[in-house]
Structure 1
Amino acid sequence: MAKETTARGGGVWAAADLLTPMAVRVAATLRLADHIAAGTQTTEALAKAVDANQDVLGRLLDHLVTAGVLSSTGPAGYDLTAMGRHLCEGEPEGMRAILDIEGALGHAELSLVHLLHTVRTGEAAFPQQYGVTFWDDLSADEGRAESFDALMGARLAAHAPAVAEAYPWGTLRHVVDVGGGDGSMLIAILQSHPEPRGTVIDLPGPVRRAEKAIAAAGLDHRADAVTGSFFDALPAGADGYLLSSILHNWDDAAAARIMRRCADAAQTTGRVLVVDYFNDQAVQTEGDLRMLGYFGGRQHTLEQLGELAGAVGLHVTSVTPAGRYSVVELRAPR
């Protein structure tokens, strides 16, 4: 049979394909790229290494060749293409962990098969797939919770240098990183600016990891980590309350409650600083549907953030580009 050379439906099939993305995610979950890079390159050897059915794994590997992830080196032999090397552990963008079906985000991604339910009802897709909310699922599975914290920490660490340099953090005395996870963003800010001190507030698991990261960075004389929830009262008196990639994880009512807690703590002299994607349309639309599917959340536009802030007595005073992120400063009227 001759190979098809035209895009089916003008490219619609490629855009709508589910099989190839799932094949790539299975490869990521089984760490096939790491095994192949280490020299395990035949179907038989790979099946033994990953405890898979040899016949079915071979058929998966053949499709990954067709998809350009692997190359064929002969009968039942495979190597990595340039694309396939991105599935190795330790690659800079961390794609293997993001796509891992047994990790937090890969697990959540499977719920998007219920996008039709979400569009019809406005409800998150995750509970339709798993019977519980994303956050309850994390609470019940320590491995996925650690996966989520690690993935979020890696994402923030990648963007943190730009955020740390873009905004005048050195004018602040005390920055409270609300829901700050393992402290990646706060650490970058404190490393770039010797003036402020900082506090991470999060749940017990992330706080333990933040304490270790702060100590490893040699910042324990200027920073600490405190167990708490952004739905409860926050320690007042700091002049900066940072919400980095937090609000999009929640529906509008919950996001407003989080901002209300920050506004109450900041009072009239402090400021609330929201760090997120606001100027990248490709991220905006894709991220918005993902946040909706996972959490019932929303990837806010600047206008939507302004409306949310206004409802809790805050207004936008500045927007500072920071790489792919922006730092939006909010204050209460004086």
Structure 2
Amino acid sequence: MRTPRIVLDTMHATFLARAMYVVTDLGVPDLLADGPMSCASLAARRGVEPVPLHQMLRAVATTGLLRTDPGPETGPQQRFSLTESGQSLREGHPSGTRDMVLTMQGELFWDALRVLPERVAEGRTGPEIAYGKPFFELMADRPAEATRFNRMMIATSGDESAAVAGAYDFSGIEKFVDVGGGIGTVLLELLLRHPHLHGVLVDLPGVTEQARQNIAAAGVSARCEVVEGDFLDSLPTGADAYLLSRILHDWDDETCVRVLRSCARAMTRSSRLLVVEKVLPDDDEPHLGKRLDLIMAALTHGRERTAAEYAELLAAAGLRTIRHLPTGTAAGIIEGALT
């Protein structure tokens, strides 16, 4: 019996992802921004060996991020150019793609993967096993990595923010609180899409400065407040809606209930809770959230959940689930209110 193709493809994908990391980390996309270059020239510019670099480039070119230019040259003399998709790997690209590649293929993530068998056997997370600290404590100790991780959220959310802004009827909402809003990715999408909205972003001090910069750059500072604080303790009260976008999946059930109770204490009878997560299907259907769930398992005590599991969390916090609203992406909106 032959090895199933899915096994071969999955095992090979590990090496392709690593080659993409090498090419990105070396800054090859930035070197190619002005036009095609030979592998030998790229290797000389970066002080690396041309033959293995050529192997990396040739593999990455199969993804459509690079292109092997036609010509008689072979081996390291072959010329490569950057495609439109490959532009996303350049430093400073607004998609956050480069940050995603460097973060997800970086040392911390790889160390967490390396100890995944121990993670399953012991219950401690990858960072706890490899570094002796939970993931978010490590991020607090590594501000440069934390900044890159926050920018990575732009890439991993894809078009979800725009989909959420369009899927939910915000006409009855005037003020909303973005709980743990990070650098403001979702908040900005809502404010730009719905000019009548006023937003309040709540997060820890290490994140809020970057959020303020992004809000100012978008020109919506007049309709947005940034509040430094721990959403497990308290939140601004009386808003029309409380948004938890990709927050609950970071935590175990007990902590999720604490977060939801914090929201419930701040809400009024007319307030709405909007939980935005990759809501998992109940069957074996392939789903982006199931792959993300593996990352959560490796790094944190959090997990992705089904609609029924989110409803159970809301109920434990004194909230009722109104509906599960699809967005046309892997993310869904769980709408809740006080019981």
Q: TM-score range by the shorter chain?
A: 0.7 to 0.9
Aligned partners of 1:105 and 1:43: how far apart in 2?
Answer: 23
Aligned pair in 2 of structure 1 residues 87, 21: CA closer, same or farther (>3 Å)? same
Residue identity matched to 1:13:
L
How big is the shift at 1:135?
0.9
CA contact (8 A) 1:8 1:14 kept: no
How big is the shift at 1:46?
2.1
Residue identity matched to 2:75:
P
Query: In the alignment, what sits opposite 1:59?
Result: 52
Q: 1:284 aligns with which of 286, 289, 302?
A: 289
Q: What secondary structure does 2:171 align onto?
A: helix
Aligned pair in 2 of structure 1 residues 203, 157: CA closer, same or farther (>3 Å)? farther
- The 5 A counterparts of 1:88-237 are 88-89=89-90, 94-100=96-102, 103=103, 106-110=106-110, 111-156=112-157, 158-237=159-238
Aligned pair in 2 of structure 1 residues 8, 228: CA closer, same or farther (>3 Å)? farther
Aligned partners of 2:173 and 2:116: how far apart in 1?
Answer: 43
How big is the shift at 1:224?
0.9
Query: In the alignment, what sits opposite 1:327?
Result: 333
Query: In the alignment, what sits opposite 1:32?
Result: 28
Map Cα deviations across residues 138-182 of structure 1 (whole Å, 9 max, x no partner).
111121111122122454573222211211222123100001112
CA contact (8 A) 1:40 1:46 kept: no
Aligned pair in 2 of structure 1 residues 297, 15: CA closer, same or farther (>3 Å)? same
Aligned partners of 1:63 and 1:154: how far apart in 2?
Answer: 23
Aligned pair in 2 of structure 1 residues 26, 261: CA closer, same or farther (>3 Å)? same
Aligned partners of 1:84 and 1:167: how far apart in 2?
Answer: 30
How big is the shift at 1:24?
2.2
Aligned partners of 1:207 and 1:326: how far apart in 2?
Answer: 26
CA RMSD of aligned residues (A): 2.8
CA contact (8 A) 2:97 2:152 kept: no
CA contact (8 A) 2:24 2:98 kept: yes
Residue identity matched to 1:288:
D
How big is the shift at 1:233?
1.2
Residue identity matched to 1:303:
A
How big is the shift at 1:261?
0.8
Aligned positions, number: 322
Query: In the alignment, what sits opposite 2:263?
Result: 262
Which TM-score applies when normalising by structure 1? 0.85
| Long gaps (5+) in structure 1 | 1-6
CA contact (8 A) 1:104 1:144 kept: no
Moved more, 14-23 or 245-254: 14-23
Q: 1:10 aligns with which of 4, 16, 27?
A: 4
Query: In the alignment, what sits opposite 1:50?
Result: 46
CA contact (8 A) 1:112 1:126 kept: no
How big is the shift at 1:256?
1.8
How big is the shift at 1:58?
2.2
How big is the shift at 1:260?
1.4
Q: What secondary structure does 2:332 align onto?
A: strand
Aligned partners of 2:306 and 2:162: how far apart in 1?
Answer: 23
CA contact (8 A) 1:201 1:228 kept: yes
Aligned partners of 1:288 and 1:278: how far apart in 2?
Answer: 11
Aligned partners of 2:214 and 2:43: how far apart in 1?
Answer: 38
Aligned partners of 1:80 and 1:296: how far apart in 2?
Answer: 42
Map Cα deviations across residues 27-49 of structure 1 (whole Å, 9 max, x no partner).
22222233244447344432343
Which TM-score applies when normalising by structure 2? 0.84
| Long gaps (5+) in structure 2 | none
Q: What secondary structure does 1:99 align onto?
A: helix
Moved more, 196-205 or 183-192: 183-192
Query: In the alignment, what sits opposite 1:244?
Result: 245
Aligned partners of 2:215 and 2:83: how far apart in 1?
Answer: 36
How big is the shift at 1:290?
1.0
Q: What secondary structure does 2:115 align onto?
A: helix
How big is the shift at 1:326?
1.6
Aligned pair in 2 of structure 1 residues 66, 204: CA closer, same or farther (>3 Å)? closer
CA contact (8 A) 2:201 2:225 kept: yes
Query: In the alignment, what sits opposite 1:4?
Result: none
